[in-house]
Structure 1
Amino acid sequence: MPSNDGPLTLHFHDCTRVAGETIYGLVDIDVRAALEDGINQVCVTLCGTIHARLSVNIARTTVHKEQSIILFYTRLPLLSEDSDTLRFSPGEKTLSSPFQFTFPHDVPPSFHTRGKHHEGTIAYCIEVAGRKAGDVTARRQIRQLISLVPPASITQVAARECLTFPRESEWREYNTTKKVRRGILGSDSEARLKLSIPDLAAYPMSSDIPFVLRVETATEPMRKSGEAPLDKRRKPMFPAPPTESGQVGMHLHRRMEIHVGRQTSAAEDDFELDSRPSADTRVVVDEPQWVAGDRKGRGSWHRAVTFRGSLNLALVPTYSADYLSWKYSLRFVVRFPGKANEVELEVPICIHPSFECPPPPMEIPDPRSVDPKSHGNLELPAYVSHALRLAHPPTDSSHTGPIGRTTAVASGTLKITDEHTFLTSEDMIYTMTQGVARPGHLVIDISHDLITR
């Protein structure tokens, strides 16, 4: 779907991209309408940014610490005030300007988290801006976020094939056991979870991961009163194992750390996973078995149910850096009646990229054609407009921000005053390392504190 704002229309495929990939787009400019709006400059920009915010209490004072980092910032002019296009013939209306950008190879994946006392965003954006020469603020602007993941190595791509036909000898097993009881006066029963998954160091994102979950239970010691584990009301005795996949909680748990200066904040959240059935998926309920115990004729009923299925981890790969880091674990939860009778099995899991960086096409595709298939079903939480406003620099000739730690120099001019930093650049910005400018991705690091009482 094209995006437009007045005389500007952006044609760009909205799908998950891979770092290092070359992307293509097209901007239609209604030149006559642009001139009526006072626009004589149009440019398209691709940028990647990181924004982190923490709120900490220091001596009964809430201190808001924020940090913004520009990973890369590339601008391409499409229309200028001295362009011959502005002197078009009466029959001409629209100028179609194709563009292309190449993502750096070593940038982190898209990411977003937000809580009451923290916020972290890694965002990539393509932006089209139209302005009048000399103006700082754009009169027309189109902004489109891009989901980005790192490229997969040959080994990581091969891991997807291993998941298609995993060998039984190459599975890893986890288990946990917990005592459960029906009430305060009840005796202890037992519940056990056993999980088997392919034995891999990391698991590819957006791929079906097969699993086998076995739930085993044993009743409290009792005398055998029948040929089945049923109570006086002819209902299954406690603890009855689940017999449907919907009765088993499957979650992907994420632990995050956000760093701003010397401050660190930890956060956690959960993503519910659905068991994706296949032709061989089934729920197997074993026949109850009576296991004799002591010499007094007491014993317990043992029951077991096995679930076979697959999970799809459509989240960004595990990542760790100085400013943001996150890791995952699988959680399987079975709830039995009664208080605190949840049996939980948590397994650390590392998610890695699963898509190679696609080579440039033989022919430049037309962005106005049907969208190609996305590289993966990467679903990210909605970005916050406030975070984007802080994280993304305006595509103006001057970038203004409060001074904090500034370690950057541009191919244009860097001017520092007592209140603001004005950064002027037309193309790529450079990193300052011990007074020496070199090409880089980490361009600007601006930190500032906001204090509220």
Structure 2
Amino acid sequence: MASSTTPQPITLKFQNVVRVAGETIEGSVDLNVALAQEDHIQQLRIKFRGAITTKITIQDAQTSTTHIETIPLIHSDLSLWKQGAAFPDAGSHILVCPFRFKLSENLPPSFHCSGHSATGATISYSLEVVGDRLGLFRPNERLRRIISVVPAASQSQLLVNESLRQGWIGQWKDTKQDIKLRRGILGHYSHAYVTLWIPDLASFPISTPIPFSFHIVTETKVIDRSDRPEDKHGKPLFPAPPTSSTQLTQVLRRQTEVRVRDIIRYEEDTFDLQGTRNLGDAAQLRGVDAVVDELQWIPKEGKDRGVWRRGAHFNSTLSFPFAPTVRTKTLDWLYVLQFVVPFPGIGNDLKLEFPIHLGPGSPCPPSPNGMHGLSSRTYAEVLPAGPPPMLDLPPSYWAGDDHDWDDEKQ
């Protein structure tokens, strides 16, 4: 294998950032003309491809059949150079070949899922530079760059994004869940209640801190007023609410529907938020405010019978660096935010689920000035806050294994 410092005939210069649908993207290819002549390169082209690819494998006792459907999204080609058509400046072997592509405004976001049941889907985009060689036994020189794309946010979505970043002062909505608990298979039930407060929005911008408040209330089984709220060992009577964020977990679940013509399959993925399922670990990144309520006696069966009520509040933020919720002809997905409050005993974990729609959070940048508009400026000068944050995509997306272009061998 050649050393990375060995001169190459083709070098692609293109900023490795997330691109926004509707954006005009540009870069350049440096062609070492002397090496190109030695390698018998006759022509230099660049291809920009995008596609939705869905795959479903059906297995029975004897056979396995894989069904694949590909819907092209982008299919652009540019000729950058032909032998004898252009030469480097005197004293140089390098010819700079600029290129420019305009992204459609309705492109879906980059996406990847691959399940254990041989079902998979990807929305993928790539640039590929091709150096054409003459002759059957001289394969073309190829250089591929996988890129990611997100939809552009509307003006109303940008206003919501900015409101969240400055500190949400709008309306909130709540989601509630409760459970009856007991430590063993016999005995009276205790109760636990949870309430999630989150901004009252139809869609939440990706990669933006979303504030939330999580309130947990527990009530013991009905006991005599004379019974203390602690057992003989000084521990709170069952069930005691968590008083530390390290006792709570949260995940984001994605439910994907994959279609290949009339065949439909479903996949589910679970993502850790901020690199962990433990809200306490996430607290180290964004902070969690925890407040424990004062113990309360609540009469239930007359003034001498009742329950001890305890409560705890947790306030923090969560961020979702995942593909915005989209529906396409062959692929769509939904997200569900799930909190889990564990209690001792079998089946006593209290789960609260909140369907969450994710939307884009970045504007489409203005078109660059001239073919070399980005070569002398950083991307941060094009967008007010720089490029969109990178999406959380698996290594298999960047490897390009699922790209299935119809002209791959051309």
CA distance in 2, matches of 1:340, 1:139: 61
User: For residue 332 of structure 1, what is the aligned residue in structure 2?
Assistant: 339
Letter in 2 for 1:379: D
CA distance in 2, matches of 1:385, 1:316: 15
Shift of 1:10: 1.0
User: Quick one: structure 1 residues 294 and 389, their matched pair in 2 at CA, closer, same or farther if it must change by over 3 Å?
Assistant: closer
1:28 alignment partner, SS class = strand
Q: Structure 1: which 5+ residue stretches go unaligned?
A: 398-453
User: For residue 451 of structure 1, what is the aligned residue in structure 2?
Assistant: none
CA distance in 2, matches of 1:339, 1:51: 42
Shift of 1:159: 1.5
User: Quick one: structure 1 residues 29 and 4, their matched pair in 2 at CA, closer, same or farther if it must change by over 3 Å?
Assistant: farther
Q: Is 1:76 matched up with 2:82? A: no
Q: Aligned residue pairs: how many?
A: 392
User: For residue 447 of structure 1, what is the aligned residue in structure 2?
Assistant: none
User: For residue 126 of structure 1, what is the aligned residue in structure 2?
Assistant: 127
User: For residue 324 of structure 2, what is the aligned residue in structure 1?
Assistant: 317
Does the 8 Å contact 2:22/2:105 carry over to 1?
A: yes
CA distance in 1, matches of 2:18, 2:102: 14
Does the 8 Å contact 2:124/2:397 carry over to 1?
A: no
Shift of 1:190: 0.7
CA distance in 2, matches of 1:18, 1:233: 60
User: For residue 233 of structure 1, what is the aligned residue in structure 2?
Assistant: 233
Shift of 1:396: 5.1
User: For residue 406 of structure 1, what is the aligned residue in structure 2?
Assistant: none
Shift of 1:305: 0.5
Deviating more after overlay: 285-294 vs 203-212: 285-294
User: For residue 174 of structure 1, what is the aligned residue in structure 2?
Assistant: 175
User: For residue 157 of structure 2, what is the aligned residue in structure 1?
Assistant: 156
Shift of 1:377: 3.6
Q: Structure 2: which 5+ residue stretches go unaligned?
A: 381-385
User: Quick one: structure 1 residues 143 and 180, their matched pair in 2 at CA, closer, same or farther if it must change by over 3 Å?
Assistant: same
Letter in 1 for 2:222: P
User: For residue 52 of structure 1, what is the aligned residue in structure 2?
Assistant: 54
1:391 alignment partner, SS class = coil
Q: Is 1:254 matched up with 2:254? A: yes
Does the 8 Å contact 1:180/1:188 carry over to 2?
A: yes
- 1:55-134 map, 5 Å: 55-57=57-59, 61-85=63-87, 91-116=91-116, 117-133=118-134
User: For residue 388 of structure 2, what is the aligned residue in structure 1?
Assistant: 375
- 2:12 corresponds to which of 10, 16, 34: 10
CA distance in 1, matches of 2:231, 2:242: 17
Does the 8 Å contact 1:3/1:142 carry over to 2?
A: no
Shift of 1:230: 2.0
Q: Deviations over 1:122-152 (max 9, x none)?
A: 0000111212146697532211111101111
2:36 alignment partner, SS class = helix
Q: Under a length normalisation based on structure 1, what TM-score does the superposition of the two structures give? A: 0.79
Shift of 1:382: 2.0
Structure with higher strand content: 1
CA distance in 1, matches of 2:358, 2:399: 29
Letter in 2 for 1:293: K
Does the 8 Å contact 2:122/2:402 carry over to 1?
A: no
CA distance in 1, matches of 2:358, 2:181: 33
Q: Is 1:352 matched up with 2:359? A: yes
CA distance in 1, matches of 2:33, 2:294: 77
User: For residue 272 of structure 2, what is the aligned residue in structure 1?
Assistant: 272
User: For residue 414 of structure 1, what is the aligned residue in structure 2?
Assistant: none
Root-mean-square deviation over aligned CA pairs: 2.8
1:383 alignment partner, SS class = helix
1:158 alignment partner, SS class = helix
User: Quick one: structure 1 residues 321 and 90, their matched pair in 2 at CA, closer, same or farther if it must change by over 3 Å?
Assistant: closer
CA distance in 2, matches of 1:303, 1:46: 59
Does the 8 Å contact 1:6/1:140 carry over to 2?
A: no
2:401 alignment partner, SS class = helix
CA distance in 2, matches of 1:72, 1:108: 11
Q: Deviations over 1:60-98 (max 9, x none)?
A: 64321111222221111122134243xx68833111112
CA distance in 2, matches of 1:251, 1:15: 27
CA distance in 2, matches of 1:388, 1:280: 38
Shift of 1:301: 1.4
CA distance in 1, matches of 2:314, 2:5: 46
1:319 alignment partner, SS class = coil
Q: Deviations over 1:138-189 (max 9, x none)?
A: 5322111111011111111122133234336x11111011011112234311
Letter in 1 for 2:258: I
Does the 8 Å contact 1:129/1:395 carry over to 2?
A: no
The percent of aligned pairs where both chains have the same amino acid is 35
Q: Deviations over 1:267-299 (max 9, x none)?
A: 111112246669995111111112233249332
Does the 8 Å contact 2:53/2:70 carry over to 1?
A: yes
